[in-house]
Amino acid sequence: MDLKKRIERFKELEYEFNKDFYQELKEGQEPHTLFIGCSDSRVDAETLFQAKPGEIFQMRNVANIVPREEEPDTHPSVVSAIEYSIKILKVKNLIVCGHSNCGGCAAIRKLEDYKELLPYTSEWIAQSVSISNYIDQKYPDMKEEDKVIMLEKLNAVQQLDNLMTYEFVRERVASGELNLQAYYYDIGTGGISVYDYDSVFSDMIEEITLSRKPLVE
């Protein structure tokens, strides 16, 4: 695979055939949606929404996590993308998208095993370890593969609660300017489950939030 050939092809085909569109795009962006998804190469917002450049502002990281307002975040790149797209670009939708077969979520289940090899990743995904612990407590007899799927779903919905720790998010949700939803994308079937802030998981998320221990004691 030749990346240089690919960008040449972009210029010769995509750009040249849609020149007017790109000329308009250069004036600015008006995305309607902020997409917070996993960095996983299979979770592509433009493909999922059948969208064009300029429509979706994206923040992707390992396991689609949003740090909570009250917890230390010394490199606030995630919150910066959220703040900018909500306050300045005024996106109408905020979608957190979890997905099947998520390596980040699988690693949350085995955090101790990864601490030495992946210190940065381990520190990052530890933000969701309370969800994994909760599943163990609540469903001790569940099969491990089902626990991982439940973690992938709950982790996406949990991020809506994490988002709501920020006043500027709460305000816009309350006024109806911002629509918050979590998706679970099943890669193998192409199915997407949609969860609102008040979803079937709300009671569980409340219990998980209450069970959170400070990341730094």
Binding residues for Zn ion, total number by CB under 5 A: 4
* Stretch 4-63 residues interacting with Zn ion (CB under 5 A): 38, 40
Closer to Zn ion by Cβ: residue 128 or 172: 128
Q: Are 165 and 141 in contact (CB under 8 A)?
A: no
Alpha carbon distance, N-terminus to C-terminus of the chain: 48
Contact pick of 102, 154, 163, 178 for Zn ion (by CB under 5 A): 102
Shortest Å distance, C-beta 209 to Zn ion? 22
Shortest Å distance, C-beta 195 to Zn ion? 17
Closer to Zn ion by Cβ: residue 38 or 81: 38
Q: Which stretch binds Zn ion (CB under 5 A): 98-106, 141-149, 158-166, 192-200?
A: 98-106
Shortest Å distance, C-beta 186 to Zn ion? 13
Closer to Zn ion by Cβ: residue 9 or 110: 110
Helix (H) or strand (E) holding 192: strand 191-196
- Alpha-carbon distance of 132 to 3, in angstroms, equals 39
Closer to Zn ion by Cβ: residue 157 or 178: 157
Closer to Zn ion by Cβ: residue 40 or 161: 40
- Alpha-carbon distance of 178 to 64, in angstroms, equals 19
Shortest Å distance, C-beta 175 to Zn ion? 32
User: How many Cβ atoms sit within 10 Å of the Cβ of residue 94?
Assistant: 26
Q: Are 60 and 48 in contact (CB under 8 A)?
A: no
Q: What is the CA radius of gyration of the chain?
A: 19
- Alpha-carbon distance of 206 to 194, in angstroms, equals 19
Contact pick of 56, 104, 135, 204 for Zn ion (by CB under 5 A): 104
Closer to Zn ion by Cβ: residue 107 or 178: 107
Helix (H) or strand (E) holding 189: none
Q: Are 73 and 79 in contact (CB under 8 A)?
A: yes
Kindly state the tokens that stand for 170: 């709460």
Q: Does 86 bind Zn ion (CB under 5 A)?
A: no
Shortest Å distance, C-beta 102 to Zn ion? 3
Which residues of this chain interact with Zn ion, rule CB under 5 A?
38, 40, 102, 104
